[in-house]
Amino acid sequence: MSYFSFEKLEGEGVSVKSYDEVTNQEKHTLKQFFNENIYPVIIPIAIDSTHPFPHFNNLSFGLIVKLQDLDDDSVERFGLIRIPRVLDRFVELENGTYIPIESLVAQHVADLFPGFTLIKYAAFRVTRNADIAIEEEEADDFMEILEEGLKLRRKGEMVRLEVGSNADDEIINFFNSHTNVYKDDIYKFHTYLNLSSLWQIVSNKNFAHLLAAPFKPKSFTPF
């Protein structure tokens, strides 16, 4: 979906905006939503000598953040915020406005990392190799081999890293120093990560009248 499409949708009462683009009243509503629905399940991770880089499952989504100590501005560190899949990709306001969840979470970094302020951030999404190689001729118990292969999928090599357009070299290099994704497999997106999540908006019944008419195949009589 192009930005031109989003502009056309605004005329129909559907819009996708960042946190900075909404009104103060809407920000108050979003803050309440964050405290009640996001804060209890989100996972902030500070990366240092005592907190190693975590494992991310296939298609994990979150934020890479660079932080500054409020008491000593010479102290900077990186952190990660894992956004669980139980949370919707967009936060919906009552007026048909959708806020990307990363835009809302970034505004509350100080709540997640007390004593630090946000310098910059970027959204990320990882893809792991989910192929399973099974030598059937060498397998005494095929089901056992299959079960073991499924367990190993979560530890498969990371084969793609997607980052938001605001990800600079410093943020990418920090993340990749721990994951070693091949540079040609790092993709910077100038739209929202995981475009399939836009089905959350498409499936809203209030906008059903904007959908294209369903295709009805024509049946021909047999010869």
* pLDDT of residue 145 exceeding 80: no
Domain boundaries, the chain: 3-204
What's this model's pTM, rounded to 2 decimal places? 0.84
**81 and 105 Cβ atoms separated by less than 8 Å:** yes
Mean pLDDT score, 203-215: 86
Tell me the pLDDT band of 148, cut-offs 50, 70 and 90: low
pLDDT in tens, 23-46: 999 999 999 999 999 999 999 999
Give me the chain's average pLDDT, please.
88
Classify residue 33 by burial, with Cβ atoms within 10 Å: 0-12, 13-18, 19+.
Answer: middle
**123 and 102 Cβ atoms separated by less than 8 Å:** yes
Mean pLDDT score, 108-134: 90
> Which CATH architecture is the domain 3-204 placed in?
2-Layer Sandwich (3.30)
* pLDDT of residue 150 exceeding 70: no
**Which secondary-structure segment (H or E) carries 211?**
none
Please report, for residues 13, 22, 33, 96, the alpha-carbon distance to residue 25 in angstroms, rounded to integers and kept in the order given.
18, 8, 13, 15
φ, ψ of residue 94 in degrees (nearest 5):
-70, -20
Classify residue 167 by burial, with Cβ atoms within 10 Å: 0-12, 13-18, 19+.
Answer: buried
* pLDDT of residue 112 exceeding 90: yes
Instruction: Return the pLDDT at 1.
Output: 47
pLDDT in tens, 87-106: 999 999 988 999 999 999 99
**96 and 83 Cβ atoms separated by less than 8 Å:** no
